[in-house]
Amino acid sequence: MSDHASSTFEPANIAVLTVSDTRTEETDSSGGYLVKALSAAGHKLADKQIVIDDPYKIRAIVSAWIAAENIDVILVTGGTGFTARDTTPEAVSVLFDKQIEGFGELFRHISYLEIGTSTIQSRALAGFANKSVIFCMPGSTGACKTAWTKILEEQLDSRHKPCNFMPNIGQ
């Protein structure tokens, strides 16, 4: 019986998308944090972009990355709240072949321990599409740190036992 873990680290090719109407490369602390964190963990940055909170523009970028052979993981930060401009879940969820319900549930549980009931306003979600795994998290740097350090870092490490996402990704 396989435990879905490897004895060696297998780096993933990861793309980072920041969804924001106001951030630039200079002010994108959340996307910048994710790039530094994934690189420090040994993964490879495949692409990084910033897009305005428009469901069709978000969907176009994520769709292209899903179809790309050199991208295994997509990290999306921003657009997961409840304002009229927050459209990341609507833009991305229709692209999923399978949803990972546990990501949003676990993120909100961990976040509750950090920020209390305000976590209920997060619509963090994740799923698989064409052997790519996609994680959508809130746009604050704190939320990205929570998602990375408490969930993603382990689940994107091929050595993590008893299981991780690495055997399920890649072209």
Q: What is the pLDDT of residue 38?
A: 98
Locus of tokens 């109407």: 21
User: Which residue from 56, 49, 47, 97 is spatially nearest to 77, judged by alpha carbons?
Assistant: 49
On the 0-12 / 13-18 / 19+ scale of CB atoms within 10 A, 110 is middle
DSSP 74: E
Instruction: Determine what percent of the chain falls in helix, strand and coil, rounding each to the nearest 5.
Output: 40, 20, 40
Indicate the pLDDT class of residue 3, thresholds 50, 70 and 90: low
- Angle CA(66)–CA(124)–CA(75) in degrees, nearest 5? 35
Segment 50-72, tens digit of pLDDT: 999 999 999 999 999 999 999 99
Is pLDDT at 171 greater than 80 in this prediction?
no
Ordered by start, the domain boundaries in the chain are 13-168
Q: Quick one: average pLDDT of 3-18?
A: 90
| Fold of the domain built from segment(s) 13-168 | Molybdenum Cofactor Biosythetic Enzyme; Chain A (3.40.980)
CA distance linking residue 49 with residue 25, whole number of Å? 9
